[in-house]
Amino acid sequence: LLQQLQKRSQHDQSARLATEERAKEAQERAEEAQQAHQRALEELQAVYARATKAENQVRENAIKIADLTQQLSEALTAQPAVKSQEVSEAQLKASQLEAANLRARNESAALKQKLAESMDDIARLRTALNEREDALNEARLHIEDYEIQLNMLRDAMNQKSSVNGFAPTPAY
């Protein structure tokens, strides 16, 4: 019976050590997931700032286009000699601003797409982090169970040793 208890104690101690190792690995994976989550958040903030800047540029370009359209309209009603040069300049400015506006819209759309992808990454990382935290908590519960069982076996062995006249087994 003492040998069985000793074998059981050794087995429980091995299981506890293995569970502690799994808990340590789960903790490391959870930390890695948290770091990845933090990097994704930082990238998301940068993308959001760029998207906001692009949207502001689109608004500014729209205002400039409206102003140049007004200038073009006024130039069309001006004197014919001055009118031709001002119209050409206004048309050139308008086409340049329309091109800049188109580029800003394209960049804004690309940044919004990247923002959506980053949000998906964050959701995926949060799910992974939660799963790893759950695994870590489960491993901790197993460690606690094994420690309780190990202590019970030690107590039983110490009681058995006391009854048989042997010295108590020291705690590990």
Measured CA distances, 112 to 62, 74, 119, 122 (Å): 19, 38, 10, 15
Count of CA atoms in the C-beta half-sphere (13 A) of 40 = 19
- What mean pLDDT is predicted for residues 146-156? 89
> Taking the model in full, what pTM does it have?
0.46
Average pLDDT over all residues of the chain? 85
Q: What are the residues whose beta carbons fall under 8 Å from the beta carbon of 91, sequence distance 6 or more?
A: 72
Summarize pLDDT for 95-115 with one digit per residue, the tens: 898 888 888 889 888 888 988
Given this model, what pLDDT does residue 76 score? 72
Fold entry, domain 2-163:
Helix Hairpins (1.10.287)
Q: Which two tokens stand for residue 26?
A: 């789960």
Q: Where are the domains of the chain?
A: 2-163
- What mean pLDDT is predicted for residues 77-106? 80
Q: What are the residues whose beta carbons fall under 8 Å from the beta carbon of 77, sequence distance 6 or more?
A: 83
Given this model, what pLDDT does residue 35 score? 93
Distance CA 165, CA 172 (A): 21
Distance CA 31, CA 37 (A): 10
How would residue 84 be classed by pLDDT, with cut points 50, 70 and 90?
A: confident
